[in-house]
Structure 1
Amino acid sequence: MAAFSRLLDILARIVIVLASAAMVLLVAITGWMVFGRYVLNDTPTWVERAAVLIVLGIVLPVAAVGVRERFHLSVLGFRDALPAPARWAAELASDVVVGLFGLAMAWWSWELVATSQGIRIPLLGISQIWTYLPLTLCGALITLFSIEQVLLALRHRHTEQRAALSLE
């Protein structure tokens, strides 16, 4: 389990570093668009479409890291009001559902990738698959990170039960 968590830690760091670099690229091409529009009076047409692709490449994988780091959107009031065993079960069920969602997202977006291989994005001249690959990556990462959360929760529960037995 420790090796799996270390591997996912490295993967999460790589996602954050790549997203940071993509953010710098996004700022640079947006700056180029503004310069082209207001200084050159000739707006580069490819910038807007490229910016959308970069935003997809930033937001989706980082959202998956949010599943691992637990900084994603959640409603905690109901869960926190539950007694400890029910809270644990609710968290476990939530992690399982999120993992299944990630798996479905990866699966169905991969179908989009497969069906759009021959299509080109007109302004950029690259394959349409670059629109859908971030979805596939995000789904796969959500699935992996959810599996880790489920395994950690089960291990923590097992450790708590063993500690409770040894106290008796």
Structure 2
Amino acid sequence: MREKMETAALWLGTIARVALWLAGIGLVLMTAIVFAQVFYRYVLGTSLFWAEPSSVMLMGWFIFLGAAVGVREGYHLSFDVLLYFLPDRFGSWLHSLSDLVVAAFGFGMSWYGLQLADKAANDIVPGVGISRFFDFLPVIVGGVLLILFSVERIMRRLAGLPTSRFGEDHDDDGTISPDEIGTGA
């Protein structure tokens, strides 16, 4: 099981890096589009009709992709307050319970996001000219990534793989050992 989990962690680490890069590119693009819109409106006295809907769509992408990667890295949604009051032996269980709740939330995002996308698919985004389906696609993809990354965290614990890069068991010096496969080390 450990070898399969190490291989899966490498693939999921690659997916997480790609998602983070896409989120960063989306943030930069959105910022450039908003700047261009402000410049066009207040300096040139005209407007870019596609700027607002495309900026909102890009915002959805970088928010949901970034949040999913944040879950993988252990920066989101956890029962950390309880860890201060309960004995250490409950830590792994609480982290796993937290991951199950996040996975369920990701399933809800994907399921209901798909239903919303299906209902909006025949409408067109004004100014951009594409289906409203693409407005909800970041919710669906973000939900799927939440499920994948939450299940990965649980499976890493079960396989006995290190989780220090995932918000648990931090080393004193903050370094990651070379055997921490799939965590960006």
With the shorter chain as reference, the TM-score category is 0.7 to 0.9
The structure carrying a bigger helix percent of its residues is: 1
- Percent sequence identity over matched residues? 34
Query: How many residue pairs align between the two structures?
Result: 157
Structure 1: distance between partners of 2:77 and 2:42: 38
| Unpaired runs of at least 5, structure 1 | 158-168
Report how far residue 72 of structure 1 moved: 1.7
CA contact (8 A) 1:80 1:87 kept: no
Matched, 1:84 2:82: no
More RCO (CA 8 Å, sep 6+): 2
- Larger Rg, first or second structure (1 or 2): 1
Say what the alpha-carbon RMSD is for the aligned residues. Answer: 1.6
Q: Alpha-carbon deviation of 1:75?
A: 5.2
- Whether contact under 8 Å (2:79, 2:98) holds in the other structure is no
Change in Cα spacing, 1:75 to 1:37, as seen in structure 2 (3 Å) is farther
- Deviation of 1:74 after TM superposition, in Å, equals 4.0
User: Which of 42, 53, 60 matches 2:57?
Assistant: 53
Matched, 1:29 2:29: no
The one-character-per-residue Cα deviations of 1:60-89 (angstroms, maximum 9, x if unpaired) are 111001110011254522223211222221
Which stretch of structure 1 is more off in the superposition, 67-76 or 133-142? 67-76
Does the alignment pair 1:144 with 2:141? no
Q: Distance in 2 between matches of 1:39 and 1:129?
A: 34
Matched, 1:4 2:11: no
TM-score with structure 2 setting the length: 0.79
Amino acid at match of 1:18: L
